Amino acid sequence: MINVKPADMILRDLAPRQGYQRLVEAKDHATGLHALVSIHSLHRGPAAGGCRMFDYATFDDAVQDVQRLSLGMTYKNAAADLPLGGGKSVIIGDPKRHKTPELMRAFGRLIDHLGGSYYTAEDVGISPQDMAYVAQTTPYVAGLEGGEFASGDPSPVTARGVFLCLKQTLLHALGSDDLNNKTVAIQGLGHVGMHLATLLHGAGADLIVSDINSEATQHAAQKLGALVVLPQEIFHQDADVFAPCAMGGILSTDVIAGLKARFVVGAANNQLAHETCGQGLHDAGVLYAPDYIVNGGGIINVAMEILKISDPAYRENRVNGLAKTLDQVFTAATKAGEPPHIVADRLIKQRLA
Ligand code: NAD
């Protein structure tokens, strides 16, 4: 282990997985910071991806998670046609107990040390206020609430991207994207799910919703006429579309077996519980819109802050582009008789070549 700038912080380069650019570990004894930054790809530009704070059971869990997430960001950024590579960072610790302004400033010094090869933003366990502390020690940060190019909450933009992709899915499969007489089952009415529900309701769709937070479901029932079901029942509803907007890994073999919807289009990251579940959806006759294309609206919003772009046309063009990319994937998948997630991965690899 070597002592390098920033002073007092111990930094070391670890051996990343094959094909990854860099993996850095940082320890700062004064603040208790223990963090990892994984840069998967710099091919399209500086790496961008959020910072997650989580109390990992083992150091290796954190190493695996940060690398997996950084790969996902390369794909998501390329799918959104952004001039950004893929990266991610994790802070090891319980955000409720271990997070302090000093710790976040120390994290900012780590990011600054990487000299702009990686831009950070919020992820699970990290708030805009935390990023404001990070911004006191580095300019390589986005997701801020104040400042000339501050992008604020990305959720409405993510929801709009999901909405457009959902319509594109119907158009591809049914020849019409009319949402009247269509039912969408939404799992999770958080930042993205509630915006999505509002857009769908406005376009004439019927809604079935579930959330573990009854305030959110009550709101959807009262304001949007949504039918509320128990969380474990959302998969089995007679809906045209299932929109996962809660957590990842929910498309398991069991869930697919009970799914009545013919289309899956939602915001959640890493929806497939296993690689084989994409094939499982395909075999079950369900058209799956790959998550990292559908939910790219958030990173488009963040990218504008990183790239210092204020023209709303940039956002609109890129978000519309998500639906175009999805259509490209569906068209190629239908032609080849392959599952869309396989075709999407191939398309992104071509964009990265
Ligand atoms: P959020 O935390 O605001 O909302 C998640 C919602 O899901 C909450 O209301 C929560 O109560 C609910 N939930 C949790 N477990 C549930 C369960 N078992 N059944 C039903 N509901 C449950 O998160 P968000 O920002 O809305 O993001 C939703 C998903 O989309 C996440 O997977 C996130 O990683 C992904 N995503 C979000 C953005 C963004 O811009 N916010 C961008 C890309 C991807």
| φ and ψ at residue 344, rounded to 5 degrees | -60, -45
* Dihedral sign computed on CA atoms, order 100, 104, 109, 110: positive
pLDDT of residue 2: 39
Q: What is the pLDDT of residues 143-156, one digit of tens each?
A: 899 888 998 889 99
pLDDT band at 4 (very low <50, low <70, confident <90, very high): very low
pLDDT band at 263 (very low <50, low <70, confident <90, very high): very high
User: Atom 32, ligand 1: which residue's CA is nearest?
Assistant: 268
Over 60: is that where the pLDDT of 16 sits?
yes
Q: Is 228 annotated as a binding residue?
A: no
First to last CA, the chain: 35
pLDDT of residue 8: 81
Over 80: is that where the pLDDT of 260 sits?
yes
Pick the catalytic residue: 88, 99, 167, 182?
88
- The response to whether residue 49 sits with its C-beta less than 6 Å from ligand 1 reads no
Percent of the chain scoring above 90 in pLDDT: 92
Q: Is 321 annotated as a binding residue?
A: no
Q: What residue ranges define each of the domains in the chain, with the CATH number in brackets?
A: 2-134 (3.40.50.10860), 155-352 (3.40.50.720)
Q: How big is the chain by its Cα radius of gyration, in Å?
A: 20
Please state the atom number of ligand 1 nearest to the C-alpha of residue 298. 40
pLDDT of residue 5: 58
Q: Report CA(146)–ligand 1 centroid distance (Å).
A: 24
Over 90: is that where the pLDDT of 353 sits?
no
Among candidate residues 217, 237, 236, 234, the one with its CA nearest the CA of residue 225: 217
What gap in Å lies between CA 78 and CA 223, rounded to an integer?
A: 37
Q: Report CA(187)–ligand 1 centroid distance (Å).
A: 9
User: Atom 41, ligand 1: which residue's CA is nearest?
Assistant: 155
Predicted TM-score of the model (pTM): 0.92
- The response to whether residue 211 sits with its C-beta less than 6 Å from ligand 1 reads yes
pLDDT band at 1 (very low <50, low <70, confident <90, very high): very low
Percent of the chain scoring above 70 in pLDDT: 99
